[in-house]
Amino acid sequence: MSKKNCNNPSSKSVDRRSFLKGTAFGLASLAIPFGTSDASVWDAFFQKHFREMNDNEIKSVIKRMEKEYADEYKTDFKIKTTGPLPGVKFGYGLDLSRCIGCRRCAYACVKENNQSREPQIHWITVLQFEKGEKWVNVFEEADRYYNPQEVPEEGHFYMPVQCQQCENPPCVKVCPTQATWKERDGIVVVDYNWCIGCRYCMAACPYGARHFNWGKPQIDKKELNPDVHYLGNRPRYKGVVEKCTFCIQRTRENPGRYPACVEICPVGARKFGNLLDPESEIRYCIENKRVFRLKEDLNTSPKFYYFFSI
Amino acid sequence: MSDLLQPVKNLFTTMKFMAKGGKWYYGWLAFLSLFILIGVVSYIKQLDQGMILTAMRDQVSWGFYISNFTFLVGVAAAAVLLVVPAYLYNFKPIKEIVLLGEILAITAIIMCLMFVISDLGRPERGWHILPIIGAMNFPSSLLAWDVLVLNGYLAINCTAVFYVLYRLSLGKEYKMSVLWPIIILSIPWAISIHTVTAFLYNGLSSRPFWNASILAPRFIASALCSGPALMLLIFQIVRRVSKMEISDVAIFKIAELIAYTMGLNLFLFAAEFFKEFYSGSVHLAPMQYLYFGLHGHSKLVIWMWLAFLFNLTAFFIFLRPKTRENFFSLNLACILIITGVYIEKGMGLIIPGFIPDVLGEIYEYGPSAIEKGVSLGIWAFGALFFTLFLKFALPVYTGDLRFKSSGSEKTE
């Protein structure tokens, strides 16, 4: 393929399609139900990488997807593709001295982001430590399945962990298909239609932030959130990896909304804002509190800051 | 016209040759086919219901498939690396070593690719990893590197084997001036497939067990034990069932070389063992899990000590001339090494990368029935592929099967 061709997305797509239709037919037949006359199966198969599509291609993909979701979930989804806002880089703060380990954030996240209920996927893991135990970088003594009558439990403290939205994300570095990348506003996203499910990113992530759809994700129709983003909370597929996106469907709105976990936190332990705005609350926290980030020794440079207000 | 039809005729001749055999041969083929069938059924189930049928979960996200893949990369590399000592020591059967080694390498690489594909959540999207038509993340992702080096290695070995068999099947001698450059290229390439695969794990700072510089050297050292050990067994079978001559001297010399590589492997193991246990930092946990158990979890402990015992025993058997020149103890040691390295470099390498997981949880992994079924199927396919390949290649090599470049076919 010549360089000139490469710059022209439409001619490239023709080349790619015609080439692939011949060679990949046999392979595809393994996984794609035959006997279906629906062309959308093939459109889905030949769908390009999100960042390689032009506006028209994205529009037609969104249209097809909305129909697929409507057929499958009997719900009308509105799939947004809102891009990053200029002059914005998102950062997150978590006040460990306030967290009571109630896990409301974890459940609000599941609801907002259409995670699979069966099998269960949670993007937020809340770790419980006994006071005086090893922690910060060593989690061996942490308990993530604590289940008392009431929290906080005497003699314990809590540390929620989710995607740290690293500036040097190891998961992006290792992905063999570029199916995951860091957006301009600092959010690490996944194209669920490009991910091949090799799970190399899960091996690379030091924070256990990436989750795989081991089975077909199932969500009760009543619990679906139809306000979705292509790179965020749209329902996922069997066999792909997913992760926290700082609620991209909320935070990229103008005016933006807080991520669901920030909104729900009953003790105000969660802070969120624009790192590039000197007046933002997150900047205030970083400049006035003693903050730390998880596993600093790995140099992943998270945009997720833990601190103590008391 | 007859020229155009010739390849078809040749194919028929080949098929006839492959179909001929005694009752042991047919029994062997039937035996393998049964396991292949089990593998196919298991894989279809996995495709249908998803990877949830495996025992892998978010905590241990790679398992039996990737373990087998890792072991087989070693086999693929080492079979060809045997050419180096064969050349240096001026072995008589160097050509046989080259041919058999390359056929074994082709088989092992095909099995590697099958194991990786079995591990994909969306195998139908596999083409996304390719350059040009996909979005290969090269040079950033080591998995992209691995795709390149493994397929490159497959291509090199296919070229060499095709060239040799093509010339011989026409009754012509092959030219070493053509073959040598391919072999010279394949030797560093064999090291590269192994190094790149080691780097795939080695580069992950999130997994302290893998993130140790000793990983790649240990990879090579253990591969140089298991690959040649497998070749020794194959040599003995081949010289029994065909006219191919492989001298005892060559076999004993390879056994001696295995003693040295196993010695190196054991030394590297000791170096790692010492560093982890003496310094006793928090990064000791995976090693602790492997050899002594961690917080009451000790599923792999018995296997790891068994592997160590096997490797050590084989080392002494190969070290003593008396035992390595006795076919009973020689073959016993080969089997011990293959098993030992299979444990050590399969599950023993992959699983502790995930135990404890990055948030400290211990999820004990053991392959599910589906994973065992698929893996067994791939191993059986590999054995079948190798058998049929040899069934064709050996008669060509010994001159029993000949094609004519034009006109009618001729056998014997």
- The answer to whether A195 and A134 have CB atoms below 8 angstroms apart is no
- Cβ of A290: how many Cβ atoms within 10 Å? 8
pLDDT at A5: 40
Q: In B139-243, where does DSSP find H-type helix?
A: 142-169, 176-202, 215-241
Residue range B130-139, pLDDT digits in tens? 999 999 999 9
Considering only alpha carbons, which residue of chain B is nearest residue A30? B124
Angle A20-B52-B303 from CA coordinates, rounded to 5°: 110
Closest residue by Cα to residue A161 from A285, A251, A295 = A295
CA–CA gap between residue B217 and residue B125 (Å, rounded): 33
Q: Which amino acid is at A5?
A: N
B141–A24 CB contact, under 8 Å: no
Query: What secondary structure letter does DSSP report for A109?
Result: H
A298–B206 CB contact, under 8 Å: yes
Q: A156: helix, coil or strand?
A: strand
Alpha carbon B179 to chain centroid distance?
23
Considering the entire predicted model, what is its pTM?
0.91
Nearest by CB to residue B49, choosing from A170, A212, A215, is A215
Residue that wins the pLDDT comparison between B347 and B406: B347
Considering only alpha carbons, which residue of chain A is nearest residue B43? A30
pLDDT at A19: 47
Q: Which amino acid is at A97?
A: S
Orientation of helix B215-241 relative to helix B94-119, angle to 10°: 120
Question: With bands split at pLDDT 50, 70 and 90, how would you rate the model's confidence at B13?
Answer: confident
- The answer to whether A94 and A279 have CB atoms below 8 angstroms apart is no
A195–B357 CB contact, under 8 Å: no
List the single best residue of B141, B148, B371 to mutate versus A (max A Cβ within 10 A). B141
List the single best residue of B124, B201, B363 to mutate versus A (max A Cβ within 10 A). B124
Q: A17: helix, coil or strand?
A: helix
Q: Which amino acid is at A27?
A: L
pLDDT at A29: 47
B282–A28 CB contact, under 8 Å: no
Q: B3: helix, coil or strand?
A: helix
Nearest by CB to residue A203, choosing from B50, B144, B204, is B204
Question: With bands split at pLDDT 50, 70 and 90, how would you rate the model's confidence at B2?
Answer: low
Residues of A in contact with B54 (CB under 8 A): 214
E strands, B34-114, in order: none
CA–CA gap between residue B98 and residue B113 (Å, rounded): 22
Question: With bands split at pLDDT 50, 70 and 90, how would you rate the model's confidence at B78?
Answer: confident
Q: Consecutive 10-residue runs of chain A (310 residues): their mean pLDDT?
A: 40 46 48 58 91 95 95 94 96 97 97 96 97 86 95 96 97 97 97 97 97 97 96 97 98 95 97 97 96 95 95
- Cβ of B261: how many Cβ atoms within 10 Å? 24
Four-residue CA torsion sign, A265, A268, A269, A272: positive
The reply to whether A136 touches chain B by the CB within 8 Å rule is no
Residues of A in contact with B204 (CB under 8 A): 170, 174, 203-204
Nearest by CB to residue A196, choosing from B129, B133, B358, is B129
Indicate whether B35 pLDDT > 50: yes
Residues of B in contact with A197 (CB under 8 A): 51, 120-122, 125
What does the radius of gyration of chain A's CA atoms come to, in whole angstroms?
21
List the single best residue of B359, B362, B363, B370 to mutate versus A (max A Cβ within 10 A). B359
Indicate whether B118 pLDDT > 90: yes
The reply to whether A53 touches chain B by the CB within 8 Å rule is no
Residue range B360-389, pLDDT digits in tens? 999 999 999 999 999 999 999 999 999 999
- The answer to whether A166 and B117 have CB atoms below 8 angstroms apart is no
What dihedral do alpha carbons B313, B318, B320, B323 form, nearest 10°?
90
Mean model confidence pLDDT for chain B = 92
Residue that wins the pLDDT comparison between B140 and B13: B140
The reply to whether A127 touches chain B by the CB within 8 Å rule is yes
**Shortest alpha-carbon distance between residue A277 and chain B (Å):** 32
Indicate whether B283 pLDDT > 60: yes
CA–CA gap between residue A210 and residue A163 (Å, rounded): 8
Q: How many CA atoms lie within 13 A of A226 on its CB side?
A: 13
pLDDT at A37: 53
Residues paired with B401 in a beta bridge: B411
What dihedral do alpha carbons B258, B264, B269, B270 form, nearest 10°?
130
- ipTM of predicted assembly, 2 dp: 0.92
- The answer to whether B57 and B364 have CB atoms below 8 angstroms apart is no
Cis previous bond, B352, omega within 30: no
Tokens of B135: 């979005």
Cis previous bond, A84, omega within 30: no
Nearest by CB to residue A212, choosing from B47, B121, B135, is B121
- The answer to whether A207 and A161 have CB atoms below 8 angstroms apart is yes
Residues of B in contact with A139 (CB under 8 A): 356, 358-361
Average pLDDT over residues B90-108: 86
For A295: left if phi > 0, alpha if psi spans -120 to 50, otherwise beta; the answer is left
CA–CA gap between residue A189 and residue B318 (Å, rounded): 54
CA–CA gap between residue A188 and residue A165 (Å, rounded): 6
Measured CA to CA in angstroms, residue A131 lies from A147, A158, A292 at distances of: 17, 10, 19
B120–A127 CB contact, under 8 Å: no
Q: Is B21 exposed, middle or buried (0-12, 13-18, 19+ CB in 10 A)?
A: middle
Name residues 363-402 of chain B within 8 A of A (Cβ).
Answer: none
The reply to whether A212 touches chain B by the CB within 8 Å rule is yes
Q: Are strands A78-80 and A227-229 parallel, antiparallel or unpaired?
A: parallel
B143–A204 CB contact, under 8 Å: no
Q: Which amino acid is at A245?
A: T
Alpha carbon A194 to chain centroid distance?
14
pLDDT at A240: 97
Measured CA to CA in angstroms, residue B330 lies from A145, B28, B86, B100, B192 at distances of: 52, 24, 19, 20, 30
Residues of A in contact with B56 (CB under 8 A): 214
Alpha carbon B180 to chain centroid distance?
23
Percentage of chain B lying above the pLDDT 70 cut: 97
Nearest by CB to residue A177, choosing from B135, B200, B358, is B135
Please name the residues in contact with B271: beta carbons below 8 A apart, sequence gap of 6 or more. B214
B121–A176 CB contact, under 8 Å: no
Tokens of B313: 């025993």
Please name the residues in contact with B2: beta carbons below 8 A apart, sequence gap of 6 or more. B406, B407, B408
